[in-house]
Amino acid sequence: MTTPPATRLGTPLGPPPATRPATGTTRPTTGTTGPATRPATRPATVWVTGASSGFGAAIVRRFAADGARVIASARRADRLATLAADLGAHVLPLTLDVRDQEAVRRAVRALPEDFADFDVLVNNAGLAKGLGPAHEADPDDWEQMLDTNCKGLLHCTQAALPGMVARGRGHVVNLGSVAGSYPYPGGNVYGATKAFVHQFSLNLRSDLHGTGVRVTCVEPGMCGGTEFSTVRFQGDREKADAVYAGMRPLSADDIAESVHWATSQPPHVNVNTIELMPVAQSFAAFQVHRHSA
Ligand SMILES: NC(=O)c1ccc[n+]([C@@H]2O[C@H](COP(=O)([O-])OP(=O)(O)OC[C@H]3O[C@@H](n4cnc5c(N)ncnc54)[C@H](OP(=O)(O)O)[C@@H]3O)[C@@H](O)[C@H]2O)c1
């Protein structure tokens, strides 16, 4: 199969135009397996949470490279400022803690006109804290995962949906994890929060039936080059690096490409779930505890 050249409304894809229309546009592409003309979606404005690092920063870069306006939000303002300075004025840094429902509402209401009608929300902000067994876990870690991965995602989704529904189009992309489908020792609450993200994404699809708003859950396996494991192990870099020793994990760019692909499908296509893992990671047998002889 050959890859068709990317085009912007039929012209070779060049650098982003100085201005973009406020609404999402379509572009024709060709493929060997589909019809001659397949109008892909090109989001004009995208909101990415957790944009100060890892997947979020890569997703911001991916959409910015495509000429989209991007709202890049996270708690660390300095990181966002550096990202925005690197990418230019079409990236809007937004300091925001997704756990603060009122702050999320206020921030969305106060978006500058150019960014207010965003087409895509990428609910990426999230974290794992600890890898110990449930009976030894720190209850504060559990609270933080629930507040960020579940409630934070709900706050942003709720702030975004009314506008998308009113406009008759939009796309919510949630970052789940293989941890939401497959248990592993120490995955207790982190895996449960991602199972929530998976099921909430499917339920959202039901509620948004007929509105034109799409929902996708991207569920990666092991991904390196982000701060995920450093955060999980409270800043212990050695322990974090050991997770990826001797194997090739997914990269943040792999995830950004998945998110970009899902949102680029023609408007009649909804990608429900993308589950991706590094080739080096797979499944093992159930564990069995045996009586000692
Ligand atoms: N890496 C993996 O192997 C992997 C696999 C599957 C799924 N995931 C999921 O993918 C997402 C991104 O992970 P990553 O690997 O890119 O991790 P990361 O490098 O640690 O990035 C996490 C991002 O979330 C932000 N964040 C955390 N708490 C926040 C809060 N309360 N409010 C706003 N932003 C917050 C962080 O920014 P600030 O600290 O500046 O706020 C950071 O930008 C997470 O949802 C994670 O669970 C990761």
Question: Ligand 1 centroid vs 51 CA: distance in angstroms?
Answer: 8
User: For 148-184, b where at least 16 C-beta lie within 10 A, e where not — what string?
Assistant: bbbebbbbbbebbbebbbebebbbbbbbbbbbbeeee
pLDDT band at 28 (very low <50, low <70, confident <90, very high): very low
Q: From the alpha carbon of 252, which atom of ligand 1 is closest?
A: 16
Tokens coding 75: 């708690």
Average pLDDT over residues 2-6: 35
Kindly state if the Cβ of 231 falls inside 6 Å of ligand 1. yes
CA distances from 48 to 146, 224, 236, 280, 282 (A): 19, 20, 27, 29, 29
Question: Ligand 1 centroid vs 115 CA: distance in angstroms?
Answer: 23
Which CATH class, in words, describes the domain spanning 39-276? alpha beta
pLDDT in tens, 41-92: 998 999 999 999 999 999 999 999 999 999 999 999 999 999 999 999 999 9
Average pLDDT over residues 138-167: 98
Tokens coding 251: 């990269």
Give the rounded percent of residues in the chain with a pLDDT score beyond 90: 86
Q: From the alpha carbon of 98, which atom of ligand 1 is closest?
A: 32
pLDDT in tens, 276-292: 999 999 999 999 999 98
Question: Ligand 1 centroid vs 109 CA: distance in angstroms?
Answer: 24
Average pLDDT over residues 108-135: 98
Average pLDDT over residues 116-144: 98
Spatial separation of the C-alpha atoms in residues 31 and 75, rounded to whole Å: 41
- pLDDT score at 16: 35
Prediction pTM value: 0.91
CA distances from 28 to 31, 32, 133, 262 (A): 10, 14, 51, 16
Kindly state if the Cβ of 67 falls inside 6 Å of ligand 1. no
Q: Is the pLDDT of residue 152 over 90?
A: yes
- pLDDT score at 10: 24
Q: Is the pLDDT of residue 174 over 80?
A: yes
Q: Is 139 exposed, middle or buried (0-12, 13-18, 19+ CB in 10 A)?
A: exposed
Half-sphere exposure of 22 (CA within 13 A, CB side): 7
Kindly state if the Cβ of 38 falls inside 6 Å of ligand 1. no
pLDDT band at 22 (very low <50, low <70, confident <90, very high): very low
Kindly state if the Cβ of 50 falls inside 6 Å of ligand 1. yes
Outline where DSSP puts E strands in the chain.
7-8, 11-12, 25-29, 38-42, 45-49, 69-74, 91-95, 120-123, 170-175, 213-220, 273-276
Kindly state if the Cβ of 222 falls inside 6 Å of ligand 1. yes
User: Of 49, 52, 55, which is best to mutate to test ligand 1, by the most ligand atoms within 8 angstroms of its C-beta?
Assistant: 55
Q: Is the pLDDT of residue 33 over 70?
A: no
Kindly state if the Cβ of 156 falls inside 6 Å of ligand 1. no
Kindly state if the Cβ of 75 falls inside 6 Å of ligand 1. yes
- pLDDT score at 26: 46
Mean pLDDT of the chain: 90
Average pLDDT over residues 22-43: 60
- pLDDT score at 25: 52
User: For 22-46, b where at least 16 C-beta lie within 10 A, e where not — what string?
Assistant: eebeebebeeeeeeeebebbbbbbb
- pLDDT score at 38: 81
Q: Is the pLDDT of residue 237 over 70?
A: yes
Kindly state if the Cβ of 233 falls inside 6 Å of ligand 1. no
Spatial separation of the C-alpha atoms in residues 164 and 197, rounded to whole Å: 20
Q: Is 201 exposed, middle or buried (0-12, 13-18, 19+ CB in 10 A)?
A: buried
Spatial separation of the C-alpha atoms in residues 184 and 230, rounded to whole Å: 19
Tokens coding 97: 């803690």
In terms of pLDDT, which residue wins out, 29 or 269?
269
pLDDT in tens, 91-105: 999 999 999 999 999
Question: Ligand 1 centroid vs 288 CA: distance in angstroms?
Answer: 33
Measured between alpha carbons, how far apart are the two ends of the chain, in Å? 58
Question: Among candidates 157, 164, 29, which has minimal Cα distance to 105?
Answer: 157
Whether 184 sits among the annotated catalytic residues: the reply is no
Give the rounded percent of residues in the chain with a pLDDT score beyond 70: 87
CB 177 within 8 A of CB 187: no
Kindly state if the Cβ of 229 falls inside 6 Å of ligand 1. no
Decide: helix, strand or coil at residue 185. Answer: coil
Largest Cα–Cα distance of the chain, in whole Å?
75
Average pLDDT over residues 175-203: 98
- pLDDT score at 14: 33
User: Of 80, 140, 174, 228, which is best to mutate to test ligand 1, by the most ligand atoms within 8 angstroms of its C-beta?
Assistant: 228
Question: Ligand 1 centroid vs 36 CA: distance in angstroms?
Answer: 39
Spatial separation of the C-alpha atoms in residues 272 and 215, rounded to whole Å: 6
User: Of 48, 53, 222, 232, which is best to mutate to test ligand 1, by the most ligand atoms within 8 angstroms of its C-beta?
Assistant: 53
Alpha carbon 239 to its chain centroid, in Å, reads: 25
